Amino acid sequence: MAYTEEKWKSKDGRLIVSKKYHSVHVMPKDPKIKQKRAPRTGPTTETQEKINERHRQERNMRLIADNFQAGDFFLTFTTETRMTAEELKHAVKNMMDKLRRRCEKMSGEKLKYFRVLENLVGRGRPHAHMLVGRFCTDAEMLDILRKIWPHGHVQLKVFGGQAIDCWQVANYYSKQSKKENGARIDTSRNLVRRAPKKRIIHRETFRDEIKPPKGYHVVKPVSYNSVTHDGYPFQIAIFERDGS
């Protein structure tokens, strides 16, 4: 007669991630609740593969939310000529070494980044996407990047920093890293990494209605009720502080 609740709050308090779920070890006793199918407010019953993918996205979203904020840089590096996977990795490593030195010289702090390489094999030119902590102005950053990346075009966008921005970047990076022609996500070692707090709630089950804590609102596109491939109800809710 219980369910598990996992709760995580970003370091600056602007985001909360709440997960509630039953499992074979923590589940209700009432047969009607055990067989319950939650009303659809999101995807249909999820396969284990989709659930695992969503867990990866959620972990990456928490990592991004804790370490990056509105105004940071979202960068894309393309190549003019076709590079092999090893050539791209070598070029990116050289670029990163120079960018680290520029960051430390200009800000006195170590560079923060969250990066994935794409199209390492197969069709399409290989390129890189990277989220970088701001340490200079947009114009200064573009000037630096054009000097340290002579292999092609550099695109700079300003990171929005809201919950949906964190989720979209995490979602895109996670999907690219899982592709056959992708590469694993790479991050700087100085990122803050905090796990959710987990507790067992001794009630039969949780409500389908998602209610935000005071001062927060529900991020509806990524908050929903569903059931696992085993038929156990679960709920994921992302809350964002009002005014963020």
**Domains, the chain, ranges and CATH?**
3-46+197-241 (no CATH), 73-159 (3.30.70.1910)
**What is the full DSSP assignment across 21-47?**
E--SSS--S-HHHHT--PPPSS-SSPP
Task: List pLDDT tens digits, range 200-231.
Answer: 988 878 888 999 999 999 999 889 988 777 77
Which of 78, 234, 47 is CA-nearest to residue 155?
A: 78
Task: List pLDDT tens digits, range 55-79.
Answer: 788 899 999 999 999 999 999 998 8
List all residues 6 or more positions away from 138 whose beta carbon is below 8 Å from its beta carbon.
156, 158
Q: What whole-number distance in Å separates Cα of residue 170 and Cα of residue 148? A: 26
- Give pTM, 2 decimals: 0.82
Q: What whole-number distance in Å separates Cα of residue 240 and Cα of residue 167? A: 12
List all residues 6 or more positions away from 52 whose beta carbon is below 8 Å from its beta carbon.
none
Task: Output the six-digit token pair for 129.
Answer: 């996407």
First to last CA, the chain: 37
Structure confidence at residue 120 (pLDDT)? 67
Question: What stretch of H or E contains 211?
Answer: none
Structure confidence at residue 140 (pLDDT)? 97
Q: What value does the mean pLDDT of the chain take? A: 85
* Alpha-carbon separation of residue 11 from 65, 118, 133, 176, 196 (angstroms): 8, 30, 16, 27, 12
Backbone angles phi, psi at 204, to 5 degrees: -60, -45
